[in-house]
Amino acid sequence: MSDSQSQQLMEAARRVIPGGVNSPVRAFRAVGGEPVFIERAAGSKIYGADGTQYIDYVGSWGPAILGHADPDVVRAVTEAAASGLSFGAPTAREVDFAQAVLDRYPSMDMMRCVSSGTEATMSALRAARGHTGRAVIVKFDGAYHGHADALLVQAGSGAATFGNPDSAGVPASMVEHTATLAYNDTAALEALFKARGSDIAAVIVEPVSGNMGCIAPEPGFLKAIIDLCEQAGAVSIFDEVMTGCRLARGGAQELYALRPHMTCLGKVVGGGMPLAVYGGQREIMSKIAPLGPIYQAGTLSGNPVATAAGLATLAKLDEAVYAKLERAGARLEAGLNKAIADAGVTAVVQRVGAMLTLFFSAAPVKNWVDSQASDKEKFGRWFGGLLKRGIYWPPSGFEAAFISAAHTDDDIDRTIDAAAESLRELS
């Protein structure tokens, strides 16, 4: 499942990096074999250390919505870097970037740049607690909102892949104010608010789940979160680190015509650079230092090279791009469904826009319990079949695959053919 050069690099990496990787899901533990070390990427393709070409559906876990090494983004980054990598002082580009983001997200009056999705979510939750004066936060089983201590409870993504939702090193006191519920269970959420509404500072949700696989919200679920928070004086937070500017120009909240109190963005808005955002209503954001008592800071926040990449990416995301992404997603979904039927394999394909997951499940997946019930062993074998046929799919059954504007019809058709052959090997 990997080339010889990758194997040699992995052996060297294990001596100096825990598990040989700098983020757990890259280790291929969920699918077996050894990870492919990537040397370069362009458009819809990535190239392994031995030069093997793969059609890529990881897309750096979401940011590469235009494809890899988009010439306009690379040009913007190069020009910005030539003027200096970091200043630790305000720049005009930060203002331009903020205006570009706020233009796409009318739910946000103000925003602040940070360097990662984890920083964005932990900062948003601190803001919500500081704003409300309350301690309890609510998240949903299987959702991953970064590796901040208070959020590593029933976490999805890499933690879920290893079957260990809770992390060692997190004191019980750090999560005693974190309540977890089943995703898509509006009745349970209503019951929690009825019992403890005056204690709840915030509810944080992936409006479309991507860290337990691609799972869409049930009708009314997201609106209930916003309404219940509004009634109780709590803060609704949409974690759109993954869905932001991917599912639509204004992300999932544009797609579903909703306006949460706060929003977290990352991945696409950073154009592949370390850049993320948290923001929301003016009365909340006006309490962030230096305006108010809620402290948050970062040396590299609003980095000039990162904001250049973000601006260049956002400038190219017009309606034509989103239409192309939808067509490609529909083509891949239809092809995979046909391949599943032809192979006689039990599986379902779930897609929202340019996010997609194939679950080896007999029924649609609506929450974490459903996701965990899918056949992980079969997914690992299917993944291996794709990889040997030149398709780089996310190496976990609990991650969404990402389609980029660089994927061609030929890429999609080759992927469908490879998927069909791999599925037949399972039957």
List CB contacts of 251: < 8 A, sequence separation 6 or more.
104, 105, 207, 238, 240, 243, 244, 245, 263, 265
Which residue in the list 56, 70, 141, 239 is annotated as catalytic?
239
144 part of the active site: yes
72 part of the active site: no
Which residue in the list 45, 139, 267, 366 is annotated as catalytic?
267
Nearest to 239 by CA among 163, 145, 171: 145
59 close to 400: Cβ distance less than 8 angstroms? no
Alpha-carbon distance of 301 to 306, in angstroms, equals 9
Nearest to 309 by CA among 78, 43, 60, 62: 78
Task: Give the H/E segment covering residue 412.
Answer: helix 409-426
Alpha-carbon distance of 92 to 104, in angstroms, equals 19
Which residue in the list 54, 57, 105, 144 is annotated as catalytic?
144
Q: List the beta bridge partners of residue 215.
A: 209
Alpha-carbon distance of 252 to 329, in angstroms, equals 16
342 part of the active site: no
Nearest to 351 by CA among 184, 238, 210, 149: 210
Q: Is 201 helix (H, G, I), strand (E, B) or coil?
A: strand
Residue 84's CB: how many other CB atoms inside 10 A? 10
Kindly state the tokens that stand for 321.
């791009």
Alpha-carbon distance of 26 to 19, in angstroms, equals 9
Strand order in the sheet with 401-402: 348-352, 355-359, 401-402
Question: Which residues are annotated as catalytic?
Answer: 144, 239, 267
